[in-house]
Amino acid sequence: FVCGKRRPRIPRVTEGRPNVDMSMNMPPEPESPELMELMQAGWNKVNGRLRDLLRYQDFGGSTEDREAGALWLRRRALVVEPERVLVTPGAQCALLAILTMLVGPGGVLCCEDVTYPGLRALAGHLNIKLVGLPMDNEGIDAVAFAGACAQYAPKALYCNPTLLNPTTCTTSLSRRQALVDIARHYEVAIIEDDAYGFLPRAAPPAIASIGSELTYYVTGLAKSVGAGLRIAYMVAPDAAAAARLTAALRATTVMASPLTSTLATHWIRDGVADLALANIRKESMARQKIVARILPEHSYASEAEAFHLWLKLPGGWQASSFSAQMRSNGVAVVGVDAFSVTAAPLQAVRVCIGGIASRSDLQHALGLIRSTLAEQPLIKPAVV
């Protein structure tokens, strides 16, 4: 047989027309030859332990991997005992274990009214009722959270408080404290998804550092090192909760791959993860400058170190029709309906700028977005 041509990792501009995926929220790929050499050196160390790493490891992560996770969390000013850190094959697996343990089928979970679509998928899978809470520019409305606690008796509050996916909103320190106070009063656990918390150079403290006794903290390396690494660290409020989560992880995922968890440990201890994070920040900031130069002012929300933005559509556009129009132009974006827990508060789309192969491709795609914003809708959703 004849092997087919390999698909490029990221679609590139061909024949003068863009074919770019701005729907997947992933960090820019490393371009530094020095960084790539250091990453390869870490992989070579893993290869040297291949025989041991092909065996089953401790559930929840080896002592070495938990210690590396605790070391990584210090970048967020979180000082935790390695015994409270659990290693998981990605943040989604961590959330599955937490939701299974804390909420369960038929339980109620509060969250942002526009939230991470992976949470919606998990809630649907586990038959969990989501109660979407309105937000302002400081985060979840504290009064609305208190009202929901009194009315629905939720098992937990899920939040993505730093560079929220999709809106890029970062919850203020005072609002974080208010949410913790309310959660304490009503004895509601907090699930903090800190996927993007390492990106800003000056992010507010993690909620887990304010209300450690009631917070289940999750962060992964997918957004701060590389999307394919699929290693996350979960911090339980105490040793008893960590033991229960270990059992939940064993039932749902068995363990994180020892190959990738060991690679992550080497990269954290050798400083490679820090270099990768710095590279992602630098490239994201460069791409955000391109965004600011091309898209109309005040048409979107984002932050300097983020690699996604929240594009607010002008009157006449629906998110579904705008997404369809952009797709016909060769650019994929994601409409608000994918993120909405309640009725969509506004017509908007998430635009991801990290996964595009080059800055020139990004510039071309943003130019198409700008020109489409200035047009009247041509494609309307089909209704049968």
pLDDT in tens, 352-365: 999 999 999 999 99
Q: What residue segments make up the domains of the chain, in order of their start?
A: 20-32+273-373, 40-272
Helix residue ranges per DSSP H, the chain: 33-47, 50-53, 63-73, 91-102, 117-126, 142-152, 173-186, 207-210, 239-252, 258-269, 272-294, 319-328, 359-373
Q: Which two tokens stand for residue 73?
A: 């969390």
What count of Cα atoms within 13 Å lies in the side-chain half-sphere of residue 333?
33
Q: Which two tokens stand for residue 251?
A: 């039932």
Sheet holding 156-159, edge to edge: 85-88, 232-235, 215-220, 189-193, 156-159, 108-112, 129-133
CA–CA dist 240, 84 (Å, integer): 9
Q: Do domains 20-32+273-373 and 40-272 have the same CATH topology?
A: no
pLDDT tens, position by position, 210-246 = 999 999 999 999 999 999 999 999 999 999 999 999 9
Residue 369 banded pLDDT, cuts 50, 70, 90: very high
Instruction: Confirm if 21 and 355 have CB atoms less than 8 A apart.
Output: yes
CATH-assigned architecture of domain 20-32+273-373 = Alpha-Beta Complex (3.90)
Three-state DSSP at 51 gives: helix
Entry pTM: 0.92
**Fold of the 40-272 domain:** Aspartate Aminotransferase; domain 2 (3.40.640)
